[in-house]
Amino acid sequence: MKELENRIKAKTLVLTHGDSDGICSGAIAKTAYPDAYVYFTNPSNLLEKLRLIQDVKTLIICDIAIDERNCSELHTALREFAETSDLYYIDHHPLPKSCEKESWFYHDIEACSSELTYRVFEDRLDRDMRRVAIYGAIGDFCDNTPCLKNWVKDWDKRNLYFQAGTLTQAILYKGRDYEFKRKLLEPLSKDIIPSNIPELLKLAREAAINEEKLRLFVKYNVEVLRNSAYIVNTNNSISKAAIYAASYGRREVGIAAEYRERKVAYDLSIRSRGEVDVNNILRSVAPRFGGSGGGHPLAAGAQIPEDSLNAFLRAFDKELGEAHR
């Protein structure tokens, strides 16, 4: 927060998510506005960060889902910014039912934020920056849109996936190291390929070795419920752990939970391999246990209090079963 406090007077500010899609979105926005300062945040902290900003001329928010708990307050704060500055809210997460759309809100659940950010600022960008949008799309499993299919034709697809894989693996390996992500964003905004960014190939290799250890840990420790499978405290990437939990648990939905001592809660990643909308179920079940959550139909996240994890897992599993009826 101190870092943002020192930057609240930046004329152009980009607030974005810290995953591969968010980083690529931020890089594209920074290419459109080279003097912008980029800060990483998330849905639960966005409103708090907005309250620190002063006298901004252009505010760009990328890949930040709207938290149902403060949807009304957030809308009010954003509307105030829209009256005094150029506001762009670019996102692809499903919206809370109470959310109102505005002219400054660029939203499409069928595309990733990287693709949307490029499309919003296309007039300010070199055509080659589409490549960075493709990296973000691949990293966010959103590379099957009509737009992306057309853009991919301009490059060797095999190299695009190599570059995107290198980038995504390194980002996941570094976790919450936001200083690393900030340094990474700078060369991406100049369309430098990930394999030419110092240390990235080495980090991607280490990530691949680490993922293999994770895969084997999940294979031998996964817990299975009627409709889902879960793994707790892998001390590793929870998004990847959730994927392997579904695979080795032989269930449609995989869940990975990691305890966060500072929060006295578990962070969860949930991945679906079927047609059940885990986002809708999560938004319904998590609040009943003092938690929160949401995301996409096939990929979502949550935060659940420590003493409610087991009860939540079983209630969530029951709702999955009900959804199949």
Q: Please report the pLDDT score of residue 94 as a whole number.
A: 86
Does residue 226 belong to any structural domain of this protein?
Answer: yes
Average pLDDT over residues 204-229: 97
Cα separation of 12 and 173, whole Å?
30
3 state SS for 133-165: HHHHHHHCCCCCCHHHHHHHCCCCHHHHHHHHH
Residues 14/60, Cβ–Cβ less than 8 Å: yes
Q: Please report the pLDDT score of residue 187 as a whole number.
A: 97
Cα separation of 203 and 97, whole Å?
40
CATH code of the domain containing 58: 3.90.1640.30
CATH code of the domain containing 287: 3.10.310.30
pLDDT tens digit string along 282-298?
989 999 999 988 888 99
Residues 27/185, Cβ–Cβ less than 8 Å: yes
Q: Which residue range forms the structural domain that includes residue 193?
A: 1-203
Same-domain status, 30 and 101: yes
pLDDT tens digit string along 244-270?
999 999 999 999 999 999 899 999 999
Does residue 316 belong to any structural domain of this protein?
Answer: yes
Same-domain status, 142 and 86: yes
Closest by CA position to 312, among listed 261, 272, 255: 255
Residues 290/308, Cβ–Cβ less than 8 Å: yes
Same-domain status, 317 and 236: yes
Same-domain status, 235 and 190: no
Does residue 251 belong to any structural domain of this protein?
Answer: yes
State yes or no: pLDDT of 312 exceeds 80.
yes
State yes or no: pLDDT of 44 exceeds 90.
no
Does residue 37 belong to any structural domain of this protein?
Answer: yes
Same-domain status, 172 and 308: no
pLDDT band at 71 (very low <50, low <70, confident <90, very high): confident
> N- to C-terminal Cα distance for the chain?
46
Q: Please report the pLDDT score of residue 210 as a whole number.
A: 95
Q: Which of 203, 238, 269 represents a domain boundary (last residue)?
A: 203
Same-domain status, 133 and 253: no
Same-domain status, 33 and 125: yes
- Going by their DSSP bridges, the two strands 228-232 and 223-224 should be labelled as antiparallel
State yes or no: pLDDT of 1 exceeds 50.
no
Same-domain status, 191 and 235: no
Does residue 217 belong to any structural domain of this protein?
Answer: no
Same-domain status, 154 and 260: no
Does residue 208 belong to any structural domain of this protein?
Answer: no
Q: Which of 203, 231, 248 represents a domain boundary (last residue)?
A: 203
Does residue 213 belong to any structural domain of this protein?
Answer: no
Q: Which of 203, 235, 256 represents a domain boundary (last residue)?
A: 203
Does residue 212 belong to any structural domain of this protein?
Answer: no
Type of residue found at 130: R
Same-domain status, 167 and 316: no
Type of residue found at 262: R
pLDDT band at 77 (very low <50, low <70, confident <90, very high): very high
The number of distinct structural domains making up the chain is 2
In the structure encoding, which two tokens stand for residue 242, read together? 């959730």
Same-domain status, 182 and 74: yes
Which value, in Å, is the radius of gyration of the alpha carbons in the chain? 19
The overall average pLDDT reported for the chain is: 93
Same-domain status, 183 and 280: no
Cα separation of 62 and 23, whole Å?
9
**102 CB-contact burial (10 Å; exposed 0-12 / middle 13-18 / buried 19+):** middle
In the structure encoding, which two tokens stand for residue 108, read together? 């499409």
pLDDT tens digit string along 88-121?
999 999 888 777 789 999 999 999 999 999 999 9
Give the pTM. Answer: 0.87
Cα separation of 281 and 279, whole Å?
6
